[in-house]
Structure 1
Amino acid sequence: MPIPFLRPLALALGLLAGLAQAETWPAADWQRGPAPGGAAVRAFETYAFAQRDDASRKGVRTDAVVVIRDGELIYEHYAGPTRAETPHLTWSVSKSLLASVLGVAYGEGRFKLDDAVARYYPAFAGHPDVQLAHLLHWASGLAWQEDYEYAPLKSSVVAMLYTRGRADMAAFAAGHPLDAVPGQRFRYSSGDSNLLSAALRGMVGERAYVDYPWTALFEPLGIRSAVWETDAAGTYVGSSYSYLTARDLARVGLLMQRGGRWGERQLLPADWVAFNRTPFAKYQPAPDPPGEAVPGGHWWLNTPLEGAPKPWPDAPDDTFAALGHWGQALYVLPSQKLVIVRYADDRDGSYRHNDFLKLALAAFAPEVQP
């Protein structure tokens, strides 16, 4: 005889099972959905795949776009040497990938956000007040200069990646003094990300660390193209040096679009995804001009903040993204059930996230307004 008080629970579980069965998830490859067309798609392509003078490197140059809607591949376009099977350098999209790998470790109970970084990376013992949450918010307080090729002599990141810091990038970052109270100031820092990568090594142990991005994240998602470089010390360069095909990076986007769930498995805890998508409380946005995304937990958010314009005004408030140098982007738009991967080689700063997203919404979600 059925137990009466279990009937509502059984009904709820049955509804959840039906929902899981109704959802589309990629297997070895993505299932294709109806391909959009018409003037809106042509307008999108005119912007995203404009003709560019590669000799001068002026203008927008998109290498790949993949669009996933509700778990189905509805659009992909490649240019130049990039193809569907090409693992593309993601640059700082790597930071958000690292956050997802850390999310699995968090779900396994390997650390807490308020733990001291030095607990897992003893070389950071000189900064005992810096917590893992501070690094995830790019708020370590380290005197770091995130300048790139246009100011190489004063750039901490250029020195870390290419010169005196490249043999042991986390140790190089750890050697910087503090010039702010940890957790009180946002300053974007590839050094913070590589310190997180070194801390992950201490969380999971040397043997597990060697394969951990694969066993924790890539393999459960069916990602087979991933390459992630280490420095000479064997630490994954969490700031910069992961490579994936556009189709495979979209799997991470779908994971995030669906709240950290992959099929029936909650791969990333819901509270971890909520942390990723919550603005850093101490962030002070510039009042003008718009365009700079809001930092969350190693992801970038389109969240409106008081006293500042929304970063991407033509995209929904719940849009968030992993962003990288020269135009790499993984956009997640939960309310539209959209995931968009863009690989690129933008050099002159003319590309605009908002312009791209506005045209993408018109082409791929025309019936839904932000």
Structure 2
Amino acid sequence: MKCQYFLVFIVMMSFLNCSKDEPVESETLYFPPINSETWETKTIEDLGWNTSELQPLLSFLEEKSTKSFMILYNGRIVREDYFNGHSKTASWYWASAGKTLTTAVCGIAQQEGLININNKVSDYLGIGWTSASLDKENLITCKNLLSMNSGLDDSLGDDVSPENLQYLVDSGIRWAYHNVYVKMQDVVAAASNQTWNSYFNTKLRDKIGMNGLWANLGDLSVYGSNTRSMARFGLMISAKGKWENTQIVPESYLNEATNTSQDINKAYGYLWWLNGKTTYHLPQTQIEFNGKLIPNAPDDMYAALGKNDQKIYIVPSKKLVIIRMGESAEDSNFALSNFDNDLWRKLNAFVN
């Protein structure tokens, strides 16, 4: 009998020792409930992050005209901070960070068989949607619009009426940041026989519990929402297009969207910016820059970047989604700014 008790004791001690040495199974990815303010949190102490670097990060954000800032780890809120008179319920514009909403909805429409991004745009909008000759217009595919290599003249402003969409070079051979991407909203509307707003709300916004709406500001289609809605979208994208057990955006399509989409700007997918590449291009220039888009950020990070420093950073290797909304941190900009690299220097000191 004593021998039996001794054997049980040995087995129990072995189990306890193994439990101490082996890592605890990582917790599952969390999704906040739809139509609820409930959102699980994680403390920086739980994560072992550098608590002494938190206040320097928050002070930097406030000094740089930030309105709101969120960090999600594995879907849970680690930090949610509001500055300069902003609040949890207040809305703010996404600017060009909202381009990635169009990317996501195009993936949904393709999954439903409504569009094929490899088809020419005129298949959906009819001929004459540009001022280019028919043979040149028919070279432009939906993928060209998502990749910013339509070949249309980007120097004529944001107006996307046919007379302002003029041929410059054949599609696919020149990368240029251009508002013509917004024609993809018209493509989805025509193919679905719905308004863009209706299709977007039904297929994306309402399925993940976002709020917000689209507004036409001059020639621009701009989305606005509260900060948590931007975080919900970032979380869904980081989860490879899923929300809990529902596939919202096809994973294979998102893999394409968040990898280099053409041979010119290696740091650009389908309206997503990509870090860790050897070269990159920026809006309003044809110069190729050597090095990574944001040197201080992880190589696997990809981002939605908008005018005046609207940001969604997604870092798969660190299970992070990071949101920044606000005024321009420095000078007015269209996407990337020095603020990105400076912010990541602060984040690296804070996040272990």
The alignment's TM-score, normalised by the length of structure 2, stands at 0.79
The aligned counterpart of 2:51 is 38
SS at 1:250 equivalent: helix
% identical equivalent positions: 23
Q: Spell out, residue by residue over 1:309-350, the C-alpha distance to the aligned partner (whole angstroms, 9 max, x if none).
A: 111122111101111111111111111111111012115257
- Whether the 8 Å CA contact 1:90–1:240 is kept in 2: the answer is no
Q: 2:276 aligns with which of 303, 310, 314?
A: 303
Q: For 1:65 and 1:240, how far apart are their aligned partners in 2?
A: 24
- Whether the 8 Å CA contact 2:197–2:214 is kept in 1: the answer is no
The aligned counterpart of 2:348 is 361
2:23 corresponds to 1:23 = no
Residue type of the alignment partner of 1:353: D
- Whether the 8 Å CA contact 1:95–1:240 is kept in 2: the answer is no
Q: 1:181 aligns with which of 146, 170, 194?
A: 170
Q: 2:99 aligns with which of 78, 82, 95?
A: 95
Change (3 A) 1:73 1:211: same
Q: For 2:302 and 2:265, how far apart are their aligned partners in 1?
A: 18
The aligned counterpart of 1:342 is 324
SS at 2:322 equivalent: strand
Change (3 A) 1:120 1:44: same
- Whether the 8 Å CA contact 2:107–2:253 is kept in 1: the answer is yes
- Whether the 8 Å CA contact 2:311–2:323 is kept in 1: the answer is yes
In the TM superposition, residue 97 of structure 1 has moved relative to its aligned partner by 1.1
The aligned counterpart of 2:305 is 323
- Whether the 8 Å CA contact 1:329–1:341 is kept in 2: the answer is yes
In the TM superposition, residue 252 of structure 1 has moved relative to its aligned partner by 0.9
Q: For 1:218 and 1:275, how far apart are their aligned partners in 2?
A: 22
Q: For 1:103 and 1:249, how far apart are their aligned partners in 2?
A: 18
In the TM superposition, residue 48 of structure 1 has moved relative to its aligned partner by 1.4
In the TM superposition, residue 140 of structure 1 has moved relative to its aligned partner by 0.7
The aligned counterpart of 1:135 is 145
Residue type of the alignment partner of 1:40: E
- Whether the 8 Å CA contact 1:327–1:351 is kept in 2: the answer is no
Structure 1 segments unaligned to the other structure (5+ residues): 1-18, 51-59, 146-154, 161-169, 286-293
The aligned counterpart of 1:118 is 122
Query: What RMSD, in angstroms, separates the aligned Cα atoms of the two structures?
Result: 2.4
The aligned counterpart of 1:204 is 192
Residue type of the alignment partner of 1:87: S
Q: For 2:197 and 2:226, how far apart are their aligned partners in 1?
A: 21
Alignment of 1:145-156 (within 5 A): 145=155, 156=157
Aligned residue-pair number: 301
Q: 2:68 aligns with which of 56, 64, 68?
A: 64
Q: For 2:27 and 2:245, how far apart are their aligned partners in 1?
A: 9
Residue type of the alignment partner of 2:275: N
Q: For 2:85 and 2:191, how far apart are their aligned partners in 1?
A: 39
Q: 1:229 aligns with which of 205, 215, 220?
A: 215
Q: For 1:22 and 1:334, how far apart are their aligned partners in 2?
A: 14
Q: For 1:133 and 1:295, how far apart are their aligned partners in 2?
A: 12
| Bigger Rg, structure 1 or 2 | 2
In the TM superposition, residue 38 of structure 1 has moved relative to its aligned partner by 2.3
Residue type of the alignment partner of 1:301: L
Q: More deviation in 117-126 or 250-259?
A: 117-126
- Whether the 8 Å CA contact 1:279–1:303 is kept in 2: the answer is no
Residue type of the alignment partner of 1:303: G
2:256 corresponds to 1:246 = no
- Whether the 8 Å CA contact 1:90–1:243 is kept in 2: the answer is yes
Residue type of the alignment partner of 1:45: L
SS at 1:120 equivalent: helix
Q: For 1:327 and 1:270, how far apart are their aligned partners in 2?
A: 28
In the TM superposition, residue 121 of structure 1 has moved relative to its aligned partner by 1.2
Q: Spell out, residue by residue over 1:230-274, the C-alpha distance to the aligned partner (whole angstroms, 9 max, x if none).
A: 479xxxx7x541001111101111111111111111111111111
2:175 corresponds to 1:171 = no
In the TM superposition, residue 209 of structure 1 has moved relative to its aligned partner by 3.7
Q: 1:352 aligns with which of 339, 348, 352?
A: 339
